[in-house]
Structure 1
Amino acid sequence: MTSLSSSTEAHLASLSGKVAIITGAASGLGKRLAEVLSEHNLKLLLIDIDPSIASLSANLPNSAHLTIDLCSPNAFDACLAHALQTFGGVDIIVNNAGIANTCSLFSQEDDRELSRIIDLNLKAPMDATRVAVRYFRQSGRQGVVLNTASVGGLMPISLMESYGTTKAGLIFFTASCKALAPQIRVNAVAPYFADTPLVANNRLVRSYPLVQQIGLMSPDKVVRTMIRALADKDLAGDTLMVAMGAKPEKLTFYDDLTMQVTTYITKGTINKYAASFNSYFSRALDSILGYLRTPLPVEDISKSD
């Protein structure tokens, strides 16, 4: 990795000695993150379906590996159990494994690729977070979960409907975990397309006009942002966008969206009950006015005198 900033070095120092599980660690962002964390004295359990994960683990100190399909039943339970058996505890979960669709959803003959993308990109990290939260609560340990999302989850990309939708869901899921803090922090990164095998081997991404115009981003910049999301205790339920030539930026539109929706629903509720109240008040007022306008019988008038 290129020279690290003082803030990144400080973040890495705060993570030293911790135990991390990294999925999708055999290549791309997961592999690069594993290499950097290993250099800074973290203990790692590296997870991937690719058997080459064994050779990476053999070359990184204080690391173990598990070759497993995260879409299989109870997969992350097995990952956590392996980490606990190997290291005695876990502090960090990085849900990095993911795939992109190879062609438009509407060009596919069946739902096999769609199901696989949903299972790996969205269901697996949600289930891993569920298992992690249960463990952190039962053990009393503080923990952090990091989800690898994408700018593809923030803006529609034609021909990549399945991929973008799962990444949007992952960002929304991350935001919904904010209430778990401070004991458990769940964050996400949403990088622009980085120069990784996932991108290099996908013709849809390579043909995307923005990629053709400005190229791909260095994986190291994404990894530095991932480290910040892991270490910065002020981040909880947050997603950091990462792009070339710009500082990572915290996504805020979900806060704005929540406020807009809450205001809309509240206004609707107020209007509903206001209408009911107005109707009741109008009927009551009409009744009172009707009573006052009704002349008393003559005998009642004489009695009142």
Structure 2
Amino acid sequence: MRYRIQKLAVCFGMGVLLACGVTAGAADLMDGFVRTSDGQGNYVIDFAEVQVTLPESWQGKYGIHLTESSAMFYHISSMKAANLEGYTSAGHMFTINFSENYDFMSYYPSYSIVGGTEEGVYYLTFPTDVQGFGDEESLQEWRELCDDMDFVKEHIVLTKGQSDGAADTGEDAGEPVKAAVQLYEGDYRESAVFWDGVLEEYYTLSISEVTDTSFEFTIWKVNGATGDAQTVFMPNTAYFENGGKTAAFYGQEYTLKFYFPDDHNALPAVTDIVVTGFAPVEGKTMVNNGVPGHEFS
């Protein structure tokens, strides 16, 4: 596999500080990587297909550890303090990952999808425990970075491999994209309904009018006690994209992405859908327990 996240120099201590605030210039250190400013003092880091924007206040405080398919951003001071005490890792802020499939949805407890390409999907993972390490000054600096994470997550975007707007719907790009999965009409309910018993409220994704290239969807908020439902996202049409492995709706206010993880080993039959781009259901797994041959109790 070729390197999806292009090589960067890891910024650590007083060594190479390419990603931490040194003016770019040496071509051999910039292979597949460009660091610029957004004109507002923030740093823009361009990987091969993903762009990350970091606040100006992060300069000199973060490092990047690379593997073939990931880039982990970490707090330098916490990592150094942990290393001095014999620990190999600390200060993890977030990691950008690339995967050829959506299996990660089944085992990562905390993730967010950046976007899909023809070859796979980029997603973020986050630590689930406290990563700050060292003295109070180091911990305070780590807390300040944590306070910026909402900004950082909102400014990590896919820059290549995915068209925008109507081009992905097939309306203006020639032949529509045919589904590579078998989507069923009916209700896909929030997974917590099946595992946590009666909920005060939950969300339902209704699928209808499924064709080879598109489907209609509506999102409802349901009163768990009475079953009364309120429409929170009006009926719209989503179109398959990325080789038919995902789908998307491009509206004036919202862009919704539909991903089909194989949580119940049912693919190409779709029993599970993850929707991004609409806060009430962001990252939730919506489950249909009525897919023929794949019912569960």
Question: Which is greater in Rg?
Answer: 1
TM over 0.5: no
- Hey, which of these two has a bigger chunk of strand by percent? 2
> What is the TM-score with the length of structure 1 in the denominator?
0.23
> What is the TM-score with the length of structure 2 in the denominator?
0.23
Q: Which has the higher contact order (CA 8 A, sep 6+)?
A: 1
